[in-house]
Chains A and B, each alone.
Chain A
Amino acid sequence: MSDIRSFEPPYARGGLNLADVALTPVPRPYGLAPSQFVAPLVARNPLASSHPGTQEIIAAHYVRKSYRKAAIVIPVLQGVELSINEGEFVSIIGPSGCGKSTLLHLLCTLDAPDSGEVCFEGHRIDNLPTAGRDILRNKYFGMVFQFYHLLPELTTLENVLAPAMIGEGVLGYLRRRREYRDRAREMLELVGLGHRLKHKPRELSGGEMQRTAIARALVSCPRVLLADEPTGNLDKHTGEEIMAILRRLNREQKLTIVMVTHDQHIADQADRTVTLIDGRVAAA
């Protein structure tokens, strides 16, 4: 299995460069008095990479989120406390509607919490400006969804290339397109789809689409892979294949994976399981 870290996308060189993502260092203990000052951090938190497996990479502190439907407020997350270390494979399990997906969306800054903090490599990220959150999602998080969410107009290879195209300008992309193409092809081979480069998503099976989605999530060499019910729409056998890929990525590449599922059998394959009940993390 080729090393997914062997490739560092040119746009992500130098790690979390805060010239483009203005992060706010979080004072500890968390949450009590969120700092108001913004100081750019030059390099990645040195502790983060020096002790893989022991260092917290992503965390949620007292996160609350509720949805409004007309005048009714539906509380979803009611103070979730979660910490995930680098290299961990964590599954979040719970019944439907308990806020698993919402929590995942908060972790990858697709959505913002009503209160509480989300931290990535020791920096608060939930209050970042939109541009900063876009860069985080593009370069530091990989996302896999239950319904694959591939772009129907693009071929498999183009879908995998999408994050690179988004992250680069036209000229930058064109200059390095060979590099990116090789990387995308490599990722597709990694998930066993090296022979399906020119197919459109509608010509693929569910399992193939999900593997394409994983390749897409890996292409920009993410720090964390966030998977939202990756097997939810697949039959048992295909689901097992997907799980095998994820487990392998975690074991062999030390990729941090946070996976949401409602299937206890799937959840058990992770290193650690977090159970959400009524918007709170249940005691282990």
Chain B
Amino acid sequence: MYKLLLCWRYLRTRYIALASIISVMLGVATMIVVNAVMEGFTNEMQERIHGILSDIVFESQSLDGFPDAEKRMAEIHEIAGDYIAGMSPTVHVPAMLSYSYGSNYVNRQITVIGVDETSYATVSDFGQFLQHPDNRKQLDFQLKDGGYDTIDHQGADPSKAIPRLQMRDAGWKHRKEMANLAPVLRAPKGSTDANPFATKDKATEELEGTDFDPSREQHTGAVLGIGLCAYRTLDGADGFLALPGDDVEISYPTASKPPKVLSAKFTIVDFYESKMSEYDSSFVFVPIRKLQELRGMVDPTTQVANCNAIQVRLKEGVDLNMVRDLLRAEFAPQVYKISTWRDKEGALLAAVQMETAVLNVLLFLIVAVAGFGILAIFFMIVVEKTRDIGILKSLGATGRGIMGIFLGYGLSLGIVGASVGMGLGLLFVRYINEIADLLGRITGKPVFDPSIYYFQKIPTIVEWPTVTAIVIGAMAIAILASILPARRAARLHPVEALRYE
């Protein structure tokens, strides 16, 4: 009983010890915040990557691919049919994207992905990243009259999002306007014959035929990654260099030996916004059949087309690696590359995990340093309380009882520090975006710049097992730090302790 009473009285009268616990508190709070943010980022990233990639990708080693996707899919189905929810053939080719913006000619390096618009939706969450509500239901590569989102439909709070005003005109309206403007814009070009693009423009125009009316007809539809023609201003608003309805030119390698570069015109029918800037600024989706024809991947006699990847989506809860290994055992690795989405982004995921681990080690060291602070202050308190320890011993308190006072003291400080730290950390996580905004306003420099990350908000996930582990760890450190001083107190000789001045 005296242990509890004295513990409590020491807690209430020794504020210096509470000061020592502040470092534990801050350490705990920081660890919780860092873990929540890292977990949020990891989760957001995984979700996005997984939304874009299918569970398992079955690729050929060569860009030119393998013939007869149907037959391969049947084989895959035979091997792992029980686990598979959907499959879709695709063609991936590196290419160049070109479009004009005012008098500028913009060139971008891209990956063209030929997709089968009906089956592709079954293997990835591709559809949900599009900007037109009808395309989100079913993509048809046809330009829409209008009705493209002016507000990011993936944003957490639509009322706070900055509207994309340019998207209001996107669609046929924009295309007609541009077609009417075209003669005006092209006029000065005649005077600069040295421009190589001008002649090329003429050449393609001839190929298309003179009866092509851009105000009423479209080229083959293409879905552009939003990062290819969008930019973000400092205040977070999005501007567009091109809109659905504009034409772009894609230069791609053919499947001949050796590959030659050809180009074809496409019309932007939608934007693709996965919020993974790496994908948003490199992917262009076109109809698979068109791409196969353009590249010469269709056998002229049998009409069987080559594709270079099959996207496989598995049923919920199926072990990815197990199915991957099943498939690997059946298909020759010289020809086919079979990987899960985790394998494909392994380096990135591992890097984030590594970062989290290193941060945790560093932060736990901070808490450990706080432990030494507690150790020092506890030694001080034991010295200060030497006479009281002598008194208690003369009244018959056992060494273990004296030790109990200081261990209990350490534990209570640990509990106070860890729980206040936990509260602070959780509060910080809860209001992290508000805090980031406030800091941004004070320093005049945004802490979290949405134009870099493509998230509007800092994602956070509080994992209770992690929080529990952090809190228990901090308490353990507080107790460990009080063991040495407590033992010293327990071993004090009563007579010497009583004489201590």
Contact = CB atoms under 8 A, between A and B. Distances in A.
A137 B498 CA distance: 15
Given A110-B495, A168-B1, A173-B1, A163 B13 contact: no
Contact of B495 (A105, A130, A135, A170): A105
A138 B498 CA distance: 16
Contacts of B5: 154, 158, 165
B401 A145 contact: no
B231 interface: no
Interface of B: 1-2, 4-6, 9-10, 13, 387-388, 390-399, 401, 493-495, 498
Interface string A142-180: 010100011111100010001101111110011000000
A123 interface: no
Say whether chain B's binding surface is mostly helix, strand, loop, or mixed: helix
A149 to B, nearest CB: 5
Contacts of A174: 1
A162 B495 contact: no
A108 B395 CA distance: 10
Given A134-B396, A143-B395, A166-B2, A152 B494 contact: no
A166 B495 contact: no
Interface in A85-135: 105, 108, 110-111, 130-131, 134-135
**Residue from the set A108, A134, A152 with the largest chain B CB neighbour count within 10 Å:** A134
Contacts of B401: 166
A131 B396 CA distance: 9
Nearest to B391: A149
Nearest to A139: B396
B495 to A, nearest CB: 5
B397 A151 contact: no
B395 to A, nearest CB: 5
A162 B394 contact: no
A143 B394 contact: yes
Contacts of A110: 393-394, 494-495, 498
A170 B8 CA distance: 14
Given A134-B397, A145-B498, 14 more contacts: A110-B394, A111-B493, A134-B398, A136-B396, A138-B395, A149-B390, A151-B388, A151-B391, A153-B9, A153-B10, A163-B396, A165-B2, A166-B396, A216-B395
Contact of B398 (A131, A143, A153, A173): A131
Nearest to B399: A130
A151 B390 CA distance: 10
A167 B396 contact: yes
Q: Lowest 7 CB-CB distances: which A-B pairs, in order?
A: A138-B396, A153-B9, A165-B2, A165-B1, A173-B1, A137-B396, A149-B391
A105 B498 CA distance: 11
Nearest to A136: B396
A153 B12 CA distance: 10
Interface residues of A, number: 32
24 contacts: A108-B394, A110-B494, A130-B399, A134-B393, A136-B396, A137-B393, A137-B396, A138-B396, A145-B498, A149-B394, A149-B498, A150-B391, A151-B392, A152-B388, A153-B13, A153-B388, A154-B6, A158-B5, A163-B395, A165-B2, A166-B395, A166-B396, A169-B1, A173-B1
A238 to B, nearest CB: 21
A135 B396 contact: yes
Contacts of B387: 149
Contacts of A153: 6, 9-10, 13, 388
Contacts, number: 74
Interface of A: 105, 108, 110-111, 130-131, 134-139, 143, 145, 149-154, 158, 162-163, 165-170, 173-174, 216
A162 B395 contact: yes
Contacts of B396: 134-139, 163, 166-167
B394 A166 contact: no
Contact of B2 (A108, A134, A162): A162
A216 to B, nearest CB: 8
Contacts of A149: 387, 390-391, 394, 498
Contacts of B394: 108, 110, 137, 143, 145, 149
A169 B1 CA distance: 6
**Residue from the set A169, A170, A216 with the largest chain B CB neighbour count within 10 Å:** A170
B293 to A, nearest CB: 86
Contacts of A151: 6, 388, 391-392
Contacts of A158: 5
Contacts of A150: 391
A219 B72 CA distance: 93
Contacts of A145: 394, 498
Contacts of A166: 1-2, 392, 395-397, 401
Contacts of A139: 396
Contacts of B10: 153
A158 B5 CA distance: 9
**Residue from the set B5, B6, B401 with the largest chain A CB neighbour count within 10 Å:** B5
A137 B395 contact: yes
A160 to B, nearest CB: 11
Contacts of B6: 151, 153-154
A111 to B, nearest CB: 5
Contacts of B393: 110, 134, 137
B4 to A, nearest CB: 7
A167 B397 CA distance: 8
Nearest to A219: B395
B390 to A, nearest CB: 8
Contacts of A137: 393-396
A153 B6 CA distance: 8
Contacts of B395: 137-138, 143, 162-163, 166, 216
B223 to A, nearest CB: 71
Contacts of A135: 396
A105 B394 CA distance: 9
A163 B396 CA distance: 7
A216 B2 CA distance: 14
A149 B6 CA distance: 15
A151 B498 CA distance: 12
Nearest to A155: B9
